[in-house]
Structure 1
Amino acid sequence: MVFLRARHDGTTPLGCDPTDLAQVEAVVKASGTSFGKGMQILPPDRRYGMYAVYAFCRLVDDIADDEGEAQDKSDRLEAWRARIARLYAGEAHDALDRVLLATIRMFGLRQEDFNAVIDGMEMDARGPIVAPDEATFDLYCDRVASAVGRLSVRVFGDASPEADRVAYHLGRALQITNILRDVVEDGQIGRLYLPAELLARFNVPPVPQSACYAAGLDSVGRILAGRAHDHFRAADAAMRLCNRRAMRPARVMGATYAAILAAQERQGWHDPAYRVSLSRPHKLLIALRALVA
């Protein structure tokens, strides 16, 4: 049960009903991730705005990951696209709608960024992605990660072109890191996000489970890790031109994922069955360093 107190001036975050806010926060808590705790560094309006964005992303991602038929998943994602369109027409029907609508209005979120996230989930929903070409790989990273970043930086407090550049580069860096960490896990469900051109270059078969233990996988992983590092550096440079306070959550996420990538590089991809993770104290130390940097 989530309890929410009104602020001293009698208002609630985003001007929303406490019951609506609690329901959205419950979606975040039910996900079992550390996202909710990470967003506690934000003031209430921005925190609950991020909860709403996360809840949207979580629900559409769950559709893409369901075991149902591709057409059914596509239909459900189209229903979400229509739902977003209704929000931009000022129409809200449930708790998440109402909190999302308040977030959209307060922070100037763009409809095309919500639609891009849905487009990314549609790529997964149509069937397992297996060895996409480089252009498709980059488009997928933009839709499922950088588009989320474009929504997030506005909620964080910076809607500048420089903040969009942070979203562009940090989103790609985070997504590439996730892909490199989850090669085996993705392979077990028939997915292989690694670009076909790199697989061919190092004689890695474009077959999910076979690719996981191919001799050339380590070389593919190290080239993609290099790209991720380039994106981390570009994101950091763009952050320096942004509102410093607004970029605090982005700095923490960047530092945390850069540490995960470094740990994955130390392990390599010769036997990627062990999924790299960071201890809680390590994550806390990284967060503290990022916040004071």
Structure 2
Amino acid sequence: MLNPTRTYLLGPLLKGVSRSFYLTLRILPAGMRDPIGLAYLLARAADTIADTSLIPPEQRLELLLSLRAQVNGAADEGTFLQRMSVEVAGQQTQSDEKVLLESLGPALAILSQLNESDRTAVREIVSTLTEGMEFDLCSFPDERSCQIVALQHISELDRYTYLVAGCVGEFWTRMTYAHLPGTLKAATETMLARGVRFGKALQMTNVLRDCGKDLRIGRCYLPTELLDRFGLTPQDLLEPGNFVRAQPLLFELVRMSLAHFREAVEYTLAIPRLSVRLRLACLWPVLIGLETLVLLVHNEAWLDPAKVSKIQRSKVYEVMGYSTALVASNTALRRWTGSLMERIEVRLQS
């Protein structure tokens, strides 16, 4: 018998808060949808806590750690859920996010109903993702402080991209092995490593695309180690006159991203051709990510938050349509992804 609450949370509400990810989720094989969908909901709730700037960072951190404890089975006694409803949900301007925060009780109940393997995997991924959010809250100033803090080293950026996305590639891979045994023929260690690179590719793209917006809330994910190499400071990146001057820095980070994307392509093509749903669920973010990088390297105002490099919804649907027709052809997919990478590389060399 269908549970209407579960159906709503993992259906309409998930669609309302997940935007483009919902498209990927719906194409997944049935057994993987619920644990991945639930993990997304819990992580999105945590992200909403971490990003609610009307609440002081130390209060957000306390609530974030409380949510992590709840996910990992701590007794609530009603206080955490009540605080979430009063302190965070009431601050939301997006109705779906408000409903999500008010629905954490049922979401945690669904988590408790998963089989032990899936429950453990969801707890691990949400714990790691919230560690990434904790990193943000502890590393950067209050959004209203008018200060900018930059990461110091490339290794910090790499660690951050693992905590907020690379770990998702690991989780996704483990879910595939658990729910679709025998599908992935490559060695487990190889696919897990590629999965991490896959997630890092997508997060590096997000970091570069959203750099202008993040700078204006005091967060510079571009490490001082690289800024110094190109004679830049975080404050320099706010000046329109420096957008073109900062392009060599962008290009250096795009090169790093492309190295990750090459592994993401190998990950996708390691999925058997007849596993159409799983292939498409991986192929779409690869193609959309590469299309975004094409826009980025041609956008001289890449640091202007009003001119963000974001592909149009119509382009997303075009990518989905063409990829569905070509999904079984490794040759066609290598040609397509290779063409996008070549367009990026030509620009990097100009």
283-292 or 137-146, which deviates more? 283-292
1:137 positional shift: 0.8
How big is the alpha-carbon RMSD for the aligned residues of Structure 1 and Structure 2? 2.7
In the alignment, what sits opposite 2:170?
150
In the alignment, what sits opposite 1:210?
238
In the alignment, what sits opposite 2:111?
100
Aligned-pair identity (%)? 23
Check the 8 A contact 1:163/1:239 in 2, yes or no.
Answer: no
Q: Please give the residue correspondences for 1:210-249 in structure 2 after superposition, counting only pairs within 5 Å.
A: 210=238, 214=242, 215-242=244-271, 245=275, 246-249=278-281
In the alignment, what sits opposite 2:319?
286
In the alignment, what sits opposite 2:190?
162
Give, in whole Å, the separation in 2 of the partners of 1:206 and 1:142: 23
198-207 or 233-242, which deviates more? 233-242
- Write out per-residue CA displacement over residues 3-62 of structure 1, whole angstroms, 9 at most, x where no aligned residue: xxxxxxxx55xxxx2322313434423326122233221244422333211111111111
1:195 positional shift: 1.5
234-243 or 194-203, which deviates more? 234-243
Q: Which amino acid aligns with 2:126?
A: F
Give, in whole Å, the separation in 2 of the partners of 1:278 and 1:80: 34
Give, in whole Å, the separation in 2 of the partners of 1:278 and 1:79: 36
Please tell me whether residue 78 in structure 1 is matched to residue 65 in structure 2: yes
- CA 1:69–1:243 in structure 2 vs 1: closer, same or farther (change >3 Å)? farther
1:138 positional shift: 0.8
- CA 1:271–1:111 in structure 2 vs 1: closer, same or farther (change >3 Å)? closer
Please tell me whether residue 56 in structure 1 is matched to residue 75 in structure 2: no
258-267 or 210-219, which deviates more? 210-219
Q: Secondary structure at the match of 1:109?
A: helix
Give, in whole Å, the separation in 1 of the partners of 2:127 and 2:58: 18
Q: Please give the residue correspondences for 1:177-196 in structure 2 after superposition, counting only pairs within 5 Å.
A: 177-196=205-224
1:127 positional shift: 4.8
In the alignment, what sits opposite 1:123?
135
Give, in whole Å, the separation in 1 of the partners of 2:71 and 2:288: 31
In the alignment, what sits opposite 1:3?
none
Tell me the TM-score normalized by structure 2.
Answer: 0.70
- CA 1:185–1:171 in structure 2 vs 1: closer, same or farther (change >3 Å)? same
Compare CA radii of gyration and give the structure with the larger one: 2
1:120 positional shift: 0.1
1:99 positional shift: 2.7
Give, in whole Å, the separation in 1 of the partners of 2:211 and 2:162: 19
Give, in whole Å, the separation in 2 of the partners of 1:134 and 1:236: 24
Give, in whole Å, the separation in 2 of the partners of 1:70 and 1:57: 18
Q: Write out the 4+ residue segments of structure 1 that deviate beyond 4 Å after TM superposition.
A: 156-159
Q: How many residues align?
A: 274
Please tell me whether residue 252 in structure 1 is matched to residue 269 in structure 2: no
- CA 1:213–1:59 in structure 2 vs 1: closer, same or farther (change >3 Å)? farther
- CA 1:242–1:270 in structure 2 vs 1: closer, same or farther (change >3 Å)? closer
Give, in whole Å, the separation in 2 of the partners of 1:228 and 1:112: 26
Q: Secondary structure at the match of 1:31?
A: helix
Tell me the TM-score normalized by structure 1.
Answer: 0.82
What are structure 2's unaligned runs of at least 5 residues? 75-103, 142-148, 182-187, 330-350
